[in-house]
Amino acid sequence: MRSRRVLTAVDSHTEGMPTRVVTGGVGVIPGATMNDKRLHFMEHMDDIREFLMNEPRGHAAMSGSILQPPTRDDCDWGVVYIEVSGCLPMCGHGTIGTATVLVETGMVEVVEPVTTIRLDTPAGLVIARVAVTDGHADAVTIENVPSFVDRLDAVISVPGLGDVPYSLAFGGNYYAMVNLDDVGLPFDRARQQEILDAGLKIMDAINEQAAPQHPFITGLDHCHHVEFIAPGSDASHSRHAMAIHPGWFDRSPCGTGTSARMAELWARSELALDTDFVNESFIGSRFTGRLVAETDVAGVPAVIPTITGRAWVTGMGQYMLDPADPFPTGFVF
């Protein structure tokens, strides 16, 4: 058995969405901050992401995280998030999965009933509070980075769809929120390809005509997520289909998307602080969110969201690359 690359990882899923937590084999990624590490990884080490996320080792909706030493003195671990679409500044389901793995593997000191893990992410400090019983991670509540609305009730001209109303909010990534009724589609997985096609067209239109620019996260200048809101959704219980570049759906309720959605509802004065908000995914799994404080980001009103969800370890592996493998970075099908 030959291999010129060996990476170790613990696989998990968060409410249906995978997180492959890379625990060894990458080394320390260069960079003074975690976002610097993300940018360096994207430019010089992206073959590792492709190797782990693409088929045949991954799949078309694969996601993961790479554990790193923190760049901040107030953090326990650093995290670089990877998925089939690239490297995210922040990933909510991935943070829940990562925190679960850290507890389940004993990579942090486990304290019952709550183990607190401070994570250095490319988007900033994220605090994970893991509910633990008999050493088992039962649920995770993450305190996310400040979330805010970029634009409310805007309209974008989309080829094939016409003028589409949308709002854009940041919850760790940028999310366009679109009512499914406004594109004439039902909340029905039998129509998922049509919903996905509409989402990709909307992303392209936003990025070509009115791309966002985060005030201080370098390299965050695009929208790769469209949160299609199902009819009947409100500020207590919302259902959605999350279309993601380059062409897949989030299986989880999406932690950063839930944060963005709560920021939008707060901006509309529909969701108050310290009020539960249930966000339901396309497969019916749920996160419970709350807004716990008001703040600002570069002068823009913002909120601090928390997200509670569950994750489960599904396996442990060593991912190897035979020198004769014709797909050293996998393939996209």
Active site residue 87: no
Residue 121 in 3-state DSSP?
A: strand
Q: Is residue 44 helix, strand or coil?
A: helix
* Active-site residue (options: 75, 87, 91, 223): 91
Structure tokens of 183? 């594109």
| Residue whose C-alpha is closest to residue 167's, from 79, 91, 98, 257 | 257
**Catalytic residue status for 254:** yes
Question: Out of 75, 87, 223, 254, which one is annotated catalytic?
Answer: 254
**Which residues have CB under 8 Å from 42's CB, separation 6+?**
86, 87, 219
Closest CA to 171 of 256, 228, 95, 242: 256
Query: What burial letters (b/e) apply to 219-254, b meaning 16+ CB within 10 Å?
Result: ebebbbbbbbbbeebebeebbbbbbbbebbbbbbbb
Radius of gyration of the chain (CA): 19
Q: Residues with catalytic annotation?
A: 91, 254
